[in-house]
């Protein structure tokens, strides 16, 4: 086995860089509102990139996975953080309710989201990732017919939920919320399963050759895939709104192109420290950023913007100021948890 392939199987900066860019893209988009009035969607690397990274790493590994063994591993890295983080944010909600800064119904909704595995805010990602991984492992030793049926069924569920759930029980807010929350859990698991599978099989078949390529070829292929993703997101998606099957298919293709593209692009420049250092830091701490930027910092900003600043709308240049302040506070949260409370994110 070549040296470069052996090194590629180890955790490289490019993996953390992909995760870092993905989470900071979501961070920015959650905070920004009305400042970037542009005609194009430049933010093409988002949460599916995390699933693609998982599938890619699994495809590069020769370790055989079992549901029991994987559960024991993820119980520490996903389940315990989900419980701890949910508890923290429910306590935060309760404090806000007592201070009359939040409607008590919001607290009730977050408790239901936690118990239904929909997750508070961005915590939906943790059950979705675990569910998709377990489904992949369960089907890994099944024959091709069963696997094919599983992929078709998952795709049908995604399309069906996209079409019908948004309008289901639209006249009854409570029933709509319950139905939407439960079906979104199913949809997110199906999404995760499909992206992990695609990345796994591409990595297993071509990973060695791709990581043996010269940096220039990796750069070129990565940039080409990112360009294709940009084109699909901006010039294809939205033109087939009457056909959810085509829209969903193009959406998944675009996410795969952006995920593989950014992975190869970062692989080719991972030695460039001005990019690698901040992005890999964000990637290594992506769980903390994912949870706290939205479930805590953004909620505080919304309350501050209305109760203190007297703004009835969250809009414009001030949202960027809030974002920059939140980034600084987020770094402080990262360091506090890493040094004093690592058990919250499943670390010793």
The pLDDT tens digits of the residues spanning 9-33 come to 445 789 999 999 999 999 999 999 9
What rounded mean pLDDT belongs to the chain? Answer: 92
Residue 110 is predicted with a pLDDT of 97
Residue 11 is predicted with a pLDDT of 57
Residue 339: phi, psi to the nearest 5? -90, -35
CA dist., res. 184 & res. 154, Å (int): 13
Q: What is the DSSP letter of 315?
A: -
Report, as an integer, the average pLDDT of 60-65.
86
Residues of the chain with pLDDT > 90: what percent? 82
Residue 2 is predicted with a pLDDT of 40
Coil, strand or helix: which one is 161? helix
Residue 276 is predicted with a pLDDT of 94
Residue 8 is predicted with a pLDDT of 43
The residue among 158, 112, 109 whose CA lies nearest residue 132 is 158
Residue 35's pLDDT band, with cuts at 50, 70 and 90, is confident
Contact status, residue 257 vs residue 225, Cβ threshold 8 Å: yes
Residue 172 is predicted with a pLDDT of 84
Q: Residue 6 above 80 pLDDT?
A: no
The residue among 283, 268, 292, 251 whose CA lies nearest residue 22 is 283
Helix, strand, coil fractions of the chain, as percent rounded to 5: 80, 0, 20
> Global pTM?
0.93
Residue 164's pLDDT band, with cuts at 50, 70 and 90, is confident
């Amino acid at each position: 086995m070549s040296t470069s392939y052996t090194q590629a199987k180890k955790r490289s900066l490019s993996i953390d860089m992909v995760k870092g860019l993905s989470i900071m893209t979501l961070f920015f988009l959650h905070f920004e509102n009305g400042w970037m009035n542009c005609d194009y969607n430049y933010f093409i690397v988002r949460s599916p990139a995390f699933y693609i990274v998982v599938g890619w790493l699994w495809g590069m590994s020769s370790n055989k996975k079992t549901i029991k063994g994987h559960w024991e591993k993820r119980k520490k890295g996903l389940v315990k953080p989900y419980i701890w983080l949910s508890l923290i944010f429910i306590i935060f909600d309760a404090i806000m309710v007592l201070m009359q800064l939040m409607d008590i119904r919001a607290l009730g909704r977050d408790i239901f989201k936690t118990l239904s595995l929909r997750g508070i805010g961005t915590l939906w990602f943790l059950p979705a990732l675990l569910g998709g991984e377990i489904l992949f492992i369960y089907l890994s030793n099944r024959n091709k017919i069963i696997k094919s049926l599983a992929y078709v069924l998952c795709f049908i569920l995604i399309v069906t939920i996209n079409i019908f759930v948004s309008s289901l029980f639209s006249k009854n807010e409570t029933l709509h919320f319950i139905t939407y929350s439960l079906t979104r859990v199913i949809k997110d698991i199906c999404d995760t399963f499909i992206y992990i599978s695609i990345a796994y099989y591409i990595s297993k078949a071509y990973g060695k050759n791709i990581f043996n390529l010269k940096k220039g070829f990796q750069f070129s292929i990565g940039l080409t895939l990112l360009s294709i993703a940009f084109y699909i997101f901006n010039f294809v998606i939205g033109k087939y709104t009457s056909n959810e099957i085509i829209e969903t298919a193009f959406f998944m293709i675009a996410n795969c192109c952006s995920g593989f593209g950014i992975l190869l692009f970062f692989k080719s420049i991972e030695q460039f420290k001005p990019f690698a250092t901040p992005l890999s830091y964000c990637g290594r701490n992506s769980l903390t950023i994912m949870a706290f930027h939205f479930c805590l910092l953004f909620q505080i900003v919304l309350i501050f913007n209305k109760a203190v600043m007297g703004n009835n709308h969250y809009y414009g240049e001030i949202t960027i100021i809030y974002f920059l302040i939140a980034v600084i506070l987020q770094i402080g949260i990262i360091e506090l948890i890493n040094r004093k409370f690592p058990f919250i994110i499943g670390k010793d």
